């Protein structure tokens, strides 16, 4: 049974930092990891992604503020978020791709107060 569990969300003031984690279990081999976010009334957008080989990709508004990383041996992905802004408020979802299959976590709320 595939399971993705996010953690690390919460309430933070503008300018602050949070570190999200996503732990995967039940997946034999992960080809790529990703973080997405969805604000109320908006579509789910890609935040950052990282391949098994370590190639990263960021949405433009996150470049220089967010850093994605993963530990293949532990089956865990991270998102270090710095210089947070109120517009970063959203539910953040973990995503993994494995042999053409797409899996999602349940999401973790990030709220940035002004």
Whether residue 1 has pLDDT greater than 90 = no
Number of separate helices (H) and strands (E) present in the chain: 0, 11
State residue 29's pLDDT score: 86
Angstrom distance (rounded) from CA 82 to CA 94: 18
State residue 39's pLDDT score: 96
pLDDT, tens only, 10-54: 999 999 999 999 999 988 888 999 999 999 999 999 999 999 899
Whether residue 63 has pLDDT greater than 90 = yes
């Amino acid at each position: 049974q595939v399971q993705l569990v996010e953690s690390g969300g919460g309430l933070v003031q503008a300018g602050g930092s949070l570190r999200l984690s996503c732990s995967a279990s039940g997946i034999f081999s992960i080809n790529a990891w990703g973080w997405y976010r969805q604000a109320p009334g908006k579509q789910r957008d890609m935040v950052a992604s990282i391949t098994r080989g370590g190639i990263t990709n960021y949405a433009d508004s996150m470049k220089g503020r967010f850093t994605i990383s993963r530990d293949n041996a532990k089956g865990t992905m991270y998102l270090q978020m710095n210089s947070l802004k109120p517009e970063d408020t959203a539910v953040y979802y973990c995503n993994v791709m494995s042999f053409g299959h797409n899996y999602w976590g349940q999401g973790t709320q990030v709220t940035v107060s002004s």
